[in-house]
Chains A and B, each alone.
Chain A
Amino acid sequence: MAGLAILSAFVLLAVTAPLLFGAPPALGSADAPLADPSWKYLLGTDEVARDVLALVAYGGRISLVVGFLATLISVGIGTLVGIVAGYNGRRIDTFLMRVTDFFLVTPALVLAILVASIVGPSLINVIVIIGFTSWPATARVIRAQTLSVKERAFVARSRAYGAGAPHLIRRHILPNVWSLIMASSTLTVATAIFLETTLAFLGLADPTTTSWGTMMNRAFVSGAAGLGKWGYVFAPGVAVSLVVIAFTFIGRAFERILNPRLRGRQADTGAIAHAEVVVVP
């Protein structure tokens, strides 16, 4: 599982950052600004003399935390909307799918910029904004699965015996959409990390925190790119890409392993086809 391996490495790096690098790198803490990679600073230092590797580790914390928490919100909403719509059908379904479609077509980045500029770009706000703009894909997938599970014989039988909606959802629907929720989550994490990175690069993140997006922003505006500081310029971009690839792999793996019905051709590109509807490049 390459995806899991890459992801584990980054999570490990983020979690053990205090052990490996001590406190978050303070401004001016390294020997020199914009140093080239050396044994002491494997990826060099940034323009305010901080160890880039340590920044990648600590920046990963922000990026991953934003990714996971926003996904929690997003998948929560998506699952709720999907199951309620799929289970109830008819008017509620129509209404909820209209809402879903609305969020699906509304350009997530522009909406996120607009909202962030009004409520302010604090970390919490960014998480909530991403959570609230990236759930429609999940809702659609979950709804489709709920619809199909609902019609299966054992569920219909259970309903005939007078089982209530909470029971049915808990005992029959949820277990059957669980794999999809997981698959959808992994893809949503990638989306969320992308969106966070983009907002940060555009300067719409708390400027005092370090995430991969703010690192790329600083590398760009400080002219580090022109100086050939490849460690500094490449590290955050490669980190984002690897994590996004990892999540995409894992999402595909989930679809294959947990949902045999999706095996085959669809699973090859299904993950990307699913994600691309909402992903911000």
Chain B
Amino acid sequence: MATLELSRPRRRHGFIAALGLAILAMAVAPLGAALASSPSPAAGSPSAATGGGVTLRIGTSQKWSTLNPFIALLIADYQITSVSYDLLVAIGPDLKPAPGLAESWTHSSDGLTWTFKIRQGATWQDGQPVTAADVAFTYNYIIDSFKYKDGSFGLSLFRDNMAGITSVKATDPQTVVLVTDKPSATILSAPVPILPEHIWKAVSYEAASGTAKDVKAFDNASMVGSGPFHLVQEVKDQYVRFEANKQFWGGAPKIDQLIIQYFPDAGPMVEALKNGQIDMIDQVPTTVFESLTNFPGVTTIKGAPIGFYQVGMNSWVPKAGQVKAHADQGSLGNPWLTKVAVRQALFHAIDKASIVKTALLGYALPGDSLLPPSVPGHWSPAADQAFDFDPAKTRSLLEALGFQDTDGNGILNVPADSKAFDPKGAGKDFVLRLYIRKNQPAELTAGQIMVEGFKQAGVSVDLQVVEESPFLANSTFPSATNADSDLYLWGWGGFGPDPDLVLGRVAESSQINAWQDANYSNPDYDAMYAQQHGQLDETQRTAIVQKMQELFYKEGSYAVLWYPYRLQAYRSDRWQGIKTLPADGGVIFTSLAYGQFQTFLTAEPKVAAAVPGASAGPGQSPAPTGGGGAGTIVLVGLVVLVVVVVGAALLYRRRSRPELGD
């Protein structure tokens, strides 16, 4: 009997285990089979095995907001439009004007009349020829739209580029003549995408708002440009896919496909680069830059800063003629931010040095004026002019304005007698909202440092994490939300070689309801802006530009926090022909976007990686190196798990045996 007793359970276990395995196999089989049979397209990026030909994959952590170049706002938007559309005058490898759709140009001796020769043989991606008429159409399209002053986000984005232009005409199919009423320093640096007339003439700024043909609502899903890549697919919030335009006038790209993939979090994006699922990252998180530099097969690039991040302070004072979205109310921002003295007090509560050290890990320069140090004409405050970090000074400056901590909770109260000025806040704690972008760890840290500084100064800041598009964009915008924001942390890139762009878009009055976000308005600033725009003498222009920076630093609505180094990375073990802009000491992805497509023309897989078969299968991705990091984790994790399970099992057995023994 004893043998029978012993053998029974053993047999049974075997049987049940076999059954279990069978069921398990049934469940997993389709998955496994599918995995095994697929060529694992995720790996081996440049491989031709994926059906789309040689594919270059770019990871980005910014979600694009539109494909329509006229409402493009974010750098991610320009990354898309800039590979599909051409400029009249391109940006050369040295950042100087270079032949684009115009192969040459001349101007009259008074600088008022410009003649552009449009190159022959350029075609739209739908096959139609590019002519001078298209160029004239594009410029006139934008200029005409200024007549429709509804103050909305739209073609007004290009207002500065068009300043002073009185007429644009195609005199023959290859010649465009552009006339200005005064000399303009920016004719050749206007980042205006040239549009096909035969498509865009049907899209109108006169169409009813929100309809398919309204320029502000037009989705441009079947984008037709004359650039090197043709948009073939957009999957919202995931990726956009381009096919190479082999007829491109500048020569066929060496790759067949270009894909820009959005990653909500930078952590997985970096992992995807290491695993070979993407080939390039346009913005490497500071936390991993150093380790990525040491990662075999990856080349990192650290470019000098050309953009900045700021905490904006909503300074909108509604004026007659400006659209108010909620007709019953004025600005929805905190009214105190419209006072220069309050903003100046708050400037002292921001610890830029800590932000650069802790949030940016040193991969940035502390900010002051609108132009980064590397840009010619940069102005820096003298030591006695600077708004040093000094929360006590913020407090005393605010107290001088009537703020008092009347309830003893450590937060200053808004003057009680300011009911007329601040009906909602009078007498209460001084509270400001601070918007920061979602999924941006460095900005979250910077926000936390600011909250801390403001707290020491007696100002309560409510940190809110928000989606960049459309939420943050809308909330700074008078015509959308009555500028429903107080403080917000945001950045600017997109600067060309010319300071005009940033000086105008950031702070010039006419850019309220267009590019501006803090809604700053100062006639002195505007006057200087117009002055420099018409000034062709470099020295004199620089003097004005510096004065503008000084004025905005002292009285403006930004605390420029930092100038970030541009940290980028790509798989140099798989790709060659990667170019930077400028060629010397530049980066792959300029925040300007236009001009950088040169690198996508010359990029090609390295020969070894392109060998058929070499890039098939998941095992092709580089061996896990990284100093045993991830391997250790797996090991430690397994050990921890085993210890915990065994420990729990022991405990469980000890107590349950008596009850379960029956």
Chain A residues engaging chain B, CB cutoff 8 angstroms: 2, 26-28, 33-34, 47-49, 203, 206-208, 218, 220-230, 233-234, 238, 241, 245, 249, 263-265, 267-268
Q: Which of B410-436 contact A (CB under 8 A)?
A: none
Q: Which residue of B lies closest to A205 (CB)?
A: B465
**B628: interface (CB < 8 Å):** yes
The closest CB in chain A to the CB of B626 belongs to A228
B438: which of A47, A203, A224, A228 is its contact (CB, 8 Å)?
A203
Closest to A227 in B: B291
Q: Are B354 and A28 within 8 A (Cβ)?
A: yes
Give the interface size bracket for B toward A.
Answer: 35 or more
Secondary structure class of chain B's binding surface, majority of residues: helix
A220 contacts which of B265, B274, B361, B651 (Cβ < 8 Å)? B265
Shortest CB-to-CB span from B363 to chain A, Å, is 12
**30 A–B contact pairs at CB < 8 A?**
A2-B647, A2-B651, A27-B359, A27-B445, A28-B357, A203-B438, A203-B465, A208-B448, A221-B266, A222-B267, A222-B285, A222-B287, A223-B270, A224-B267, A225-B267, A226-B271, A227-B287, A227-B288, A227-B291, A227-B629, A228-B630, A228-B632, A228-B633, A230-B636, A233-B633, A238-B640, A241-B644, A245-B644, A263-B659, A264-B659
In the bound assembly, the distance between CA atoms of A249 and B651 in angstroms comes to: 10
Contact code string B438-458 (vs A, CB < 8 Å = 1, else 0): 110100110111011000000
Does B648 reach chain A (CB closer than 8 Å)? Answer: yes
How close is A105's CB to chain B, nearest CB, in angstroms?
28
| Interface contact B265-A221, CB-CB below 8 Å | yes
Docked complex Cα distance between A241 and B645 (Å): 12
* In the complex, B627 has a CB within 8 A of chain A: yes
A209 to chain B: closest residue by CB: B448
Q: 5 closest pairs, A vs B, by CB?
A: A228-B629, A28-B358, A223-B267, A223-B288, A47-B287
Known contacts A223-B288, A225-B267, A228-B633; is A48 also within 8 Å of B445 by CB?
yes
Q: Quick check: A207 and B267 within 8 Å, CB to CB?
A: no
| B269 to A: closest C-beta gap in Å | 8
The answer to whether B651 touches A47 (Cβ under 8 A) is no
Are the C-beta atoms of A228 and B266 separated by less than 8 Å? no
- Measured CB to CB, the nearest residue on chain B to A3 is B651
A226 to B625, CA, bound (A): 11
Return A255 CB to nearest CB of chain B, in Å.
12
Nearest opposing residue in chain B for A249, CB measure:
B651
The answer to whether B438 touches A33, judged by C-beta atoms less than 8 angstroms apart, is no
Q: Does B449 contact A226, Cβ atoms closer than 8 Å?
A: no
- Give the interface SS of chain A, mostly helix, strand, loop or mixed: loop
- Among A26, A222, A241, A265, max chain B CB count under 10 A is at A222
By the criterion CB–CB under 8 Å, are B449 and A27 in contact?
A: yes
Q: Name the B residues within 8 Å of A47 (CB-CB).
A: 287, 361, 441
CB distance from B397 to the nearest CB of A (A): 24
Is residue B26 contacting chain A, with contact meaning CB distance below 8 A?
Answer: no
Q: Is the CB of B274 within 8 A of A226?
A: yes
Instruction: Tell me which residues across on chain B come within 8 A of A33, comparing CB atoms.
Output: 287, 358, 361
Whether the Cβ atoms of B267 and A245 lie closer than 8 Å is no
Partner of B659, one of A2, A223, A245, A265: A265
Complex: A206 Cα to B493 Cα, angstroms: 30
Chain B residues whose CB sits within 8 angstroms of the CB of A267 once the complex forms: 659
Q: Let me know if B385 is at the binding interface, CB within 8 A.
A: no
Q: Give every chain B residue within 8 A of A220 (Cβ-Cβ).
A: 265, 267
Given A2-B651, A27-B358, A264-B659, residue A228 in contact with residue B287 (CB < 8 A): no
Q: Does B6 contact A (CB under 8 A)?
A: no
Could you say which residues of chain A place their CB within 8 Å of the CB of B644? 241, 245
Question: A220 vs B269: C-alpha distance in the bound complex, in angstroms?
Answer: 11
B317 on interface, CB distance cutoff 8 Å: no
Asked if residues B288 and A226 are in contact (CB atoms below 8 Å), the reply is: yes
User: Which A residue's beta carbon lies closest to that of B637?
Assistant: A234
A34 to B286: give the CA distance in the assembly, Å. 11
Given A48-B358, A226-B288, verify A221-B439 contact (CB < 8 Å). Answer: yes
Residues of A with C-beta under 8 A to B449: 27
CA distance A229 to B632 in the complex (A): 10
Q: Quick check: B448 and A49 within 8 Å, CB to CB? A: no
**Chain A residues with Cβ under 8 A from B630's Cβ?**
226, 228
Pick from B287, B627, B660: contact of A34, CB under 8 Å: B287
Query: Would you list which residues of chain B between 452 and 476 have a CB under 8 Å from chain A?
Result: 452, 463, 465
Nearest opposing residue in chain A for B444, CB measure: A207
When distances are taken between beta carbons in the complex, the residues of chain B under 8 Å from A26 are 452
Say how far B285's CB is from chain A's closest CB, in angstroms: 6
Q: Which B286-307 residues sit within 8 Å CB-CB of chain A?
A: 287-288, 291
**Contact (Cβ within 8 A) B451 A208:** yes
Q: Mark B247-259, 1 if CB is under 8 A from A, else 0.
A: 0000000000000
Give me 15 other A-B pairs in contact (C-beta within 8 A), A28-B357, A222-B287, A227-B291 excluded: A26-B452, A47-B287, A207-B465, A208-B448, A221-B439, A221-B441, A222-B285, A226-B630, A227-B287, A228-B628, A228-B630, A228-B631, A229-B629, A230-B633, A234-B633
| Partner pick for B627 among A27, A218, A222, A228, CB 8 A cutoff | A228
Minimum Cβ distance to chain B for residue A214 (Å) = 10
Report if A230-B444 is in contact (Cβ < 8 Å); known contacts: A223-B266, A224-B287: no
B656 at the interface (CB under 8 A from A): yes
Chain A, Cβ-Cβ closest to B656: A268
